[in-house]
Amino acid sequence: MRDALARWQDTLRAVDGRAENTITAYRSDVQGFLSFLAVHFGDSLGPAALGRVKVADMRAWMAQERAAGLSARSLARALSAVKTFAGWLAEREGYDVTAILATRSPKFRRKLPRPLAEDAARAMLDTVEIQSGEPWVAARDVAVVTLLYGCGLRISEAIGLRGADWPFGEALRIRGKGNKERIVPVLAAASDAVAEYVALCPHDLAPEEALFRGKKGGALNPRLIAKVMERSRLQLGLPASATPHAMRHSFATHLLNAGGDLRSIQELLGHASLSTTQAYTAVDTARLMEVYRSAHPKA
């Protein structure tokens, strides 16, 4: 079973293009499920054991996880990982894993995005700049946060930029989740912020190396950006939801509020499904009602 898990992870990485964080989370979820089965069945597990799993076994595992305090959302993610692994193994070994694949995911209410107001987003950029006494570090932090808000990048996408990506030009090619590529327009403000960082950075920004660096020259740890934003939000009196990812939410919400259409915003964010992007419509119900009243023939 360990060998099967290792091969599955290689497939997720090389074929599906899953991020390392996703692979780590999936592995943990599947290992937890397999540990449950070992105790539940009372013997050591081989890959064929998945073919012995019944609906009652799946219910017992899910009940145990919920009793241990796992949220419905986390359990849904764990079930998704288990199904992905079981389906992959069944396709190669011919096991019948119908009971696993047919298990229904627990229902949960998806969290709405929590963007910053426009003035709060601008204040965040200004406050991030004064968190470090080293000019190049301050410029780096501003550049990264500006990319999150100005281009709607995920923190991993911004940190993953290479020296070869600079200078940006009018658009930036981003490889996001699932190895999916998208083209993102680059605001002049974002280019200017990165240009200032590049001019001040004491490290050699070789084409194959990370564009954003830590103090010792290695690739920037995203946790450092989270920390500088945490200090900034405390100074500004903003809620705990003012995280790096909130800047991406703000990018999408402010575009929508200004008249951007969902399909375009979906492409800019790199969402595989429009339903994911539609969550932003729930953030501003007032705008939806305004569009309805102005656009419907009977309004």
- Per annotation, catalytic residue among 182, 248, 249, 254: 248
- Per annotation, catalytic residue among 18, 154, 233, 254: 154
- Per annotation, catalytic residue among 114, 162, 203, 245: 245
Residue 179 DSSP class: G
For residue 162, the tally of other CB atoms under 10 A from its CB is 15
Query: Is 149 in the active site?
Result: no
Give the alpha-carbon dihedral of 239, 240, 245, 247, to 10 degrees.
20
Query: b/e per residue, 197-209, with b = 16+ CB within 10 A?
Result: bbeebebebeeee
- Per annotation, catalytic residue among 73, 114, 177, 287: 177
Pair 152, 139: CB distance under 8 Å: no
Can you read off the two tokens belonging to residue 80? 């998704």
Q: Where are the alpha helices (DSSP H) in 152-297?
A: 155-159, 188-200, 222-236, 244-257, 262-269, 274-277, 285-295
> Tokens 């599947």 map to which residue?
30
Can you read off the two tokens belonging to residue 128? 């991030």
Rounded to whole angstroms, how far apart are CA atoms 270 and 154? 10
Query: Is 197 in the active site?
Result: no
Query: Is 280 in the active site?
Result: yes
Query: Is 26 in the active site?
Result: no
Cβ contacts of residue 270 below 8 Å, gap of 6+? 174, 176, 177, 180, 182
Rounded to whole angstroms, how far apart are CA atoms 245 and 77? 20
- Per annotation, catalytic residue among 95, 149, 197, 280: 280
Residue among 204, 123, 192 nearest 162 (CA): 204
Rounded to whole angstroms, how far apart are CA atoms 79 and 248? 28
Rounded to whole angstroms, how far apart are CA atoms 164 and 14? 23
Query: Is 95 in the active site?
Result: no
Catalytic residues: 154, 177, 245, 248, 271, 280
